[in-house]
Amino acid sequence: MNRMKKRIKKIGIFFLLTASLAAVEIQNTEDAVNIAGKQRMFTQRMLKDYAMVGMGNTFGTPGKDLQQTIDAFTDHLKLLKAYAKNDAIKKSLDEIEVQWKPLRKILQETPNLSKVEKLQGDLEALLTASDKATKLFAKETGKNSGEIVNMAGRQRMLSQRMASLYMLKVWGVKDPKFKLKLDDALMLFKSSLEKLEKSPVNNEEINALLAKVKRSFVFFEMMNRSKSKFVPTLIYKKSNDILKNMNSITELYVKIESK
């Protein structure tokens, strides 16, 4: 039974990353906000997986997950470019594509500790560019729904960002801004979670999922306060738990606000 549960969880994450693109067409701008928001999350998930592979940690098959995420980022970008209507969004997506092409090649090479600091910076720039595109799509909705989908989707990214920062530290990357970056991610996640909990559009399903996310997030707050080292596999698992639940929440917001 436990093996079956683990397999189902793996399938669930795999579907989250690759639920594509044959099955997921962009029906409206809320969909575009959701998919563009996933791109932000992918930048941090790829960094997390890259560090796990570099450390030789095979929990969650990070090598396989990394390749799936690389493919998903590429497919999502094509989908967004096909849907984009205004010039500002098209230009933003073109800029992402220029940044992505060399990064894709580096991410498929054997992870190297000496290269990861530059890779982190480049993925940070890709995250910024992806965030810009997401906000442009959110603005195009012309209503508050775009913002709530954007915020919920950003929580997916923050779950992976918190984990990737910790993985890099465990791997041995000396980042003088590590504490500041982690604190900023934690504060933004917490404040956004509080806003989502108060949203008037929430239903019972969303509230139940938000409660699960809140319980998982406590783990990251404990990790940040503790002077002890946490096992990377626990960080990996908790970040995936939050990702899975926040992805479900984001898609529920899309459905509600698209009506």
CB burial of 244-258 (b: ≥16 within 10 Å; e: otherwise) equals: bbbbbbbbbbbebbe
pLDDT tier at 16, thresholds 50, 70, 90: low
What single DSSP character describes residue 20? -
Chain-centroid distance of CA 30 in Å reads 17
Q: What per-residue confidence (pLDDT) applies to 5?
A: 44
Q: How far apart are the first and last CA of the chain?
A: 39
Task: For 102-159, write each residue's pLDDT tens digit.
Answer: 999 999 999 999 999 999 999 999 999 999 999 999 998 877 667 899 999 999 999 9
What pLDDT is recorded for position 224?
85
Residue 230 pLDDT greater than 50, yes or no:
yes
Confirm whether pTM is higher than 0.85: yes
> What percentage of residues in the chain have a pLDDT greater than 90?
73
Domain spans, the chain: 2-257
Distance separating alpha carbons of residues 244 and 238, to the nearest angstrom:
10
Q: How far apart are CA 192 and CA 201, in angstroms?
A: 15
pLDDT of 17 > 70? The answer is: no
C-beta of residue 244 within 8 angstroms of C-beta of residue 16: yes
Q: What is the pLDDT of residues 50-80, one digit of tens each?
A: 999 999 999 999 999 999 999 999 999 999 9
Question: Using CA atoms, how far apart are residues 109 and 128, in angstroms rounded to an integer?
Answer: 23
Residue 52: the pLDDT is 96
| Dist CA 122 CA 134 (whole Å) | 18
**Contact of 173 with 116, CB cutoff 8 Å:** yes
Q: How far apart are the C-alpha atoms of 175 and 130, rounded to whole Å?
A: 23
Q: Are 5 and 122 in contact (CB under 8 A)?
A: no
- Residue 3's pLDDT is what? 47
Q: Are 43 and 130 in contact (CB under 8 A)?
A: yes
pLDDT at 22: 41
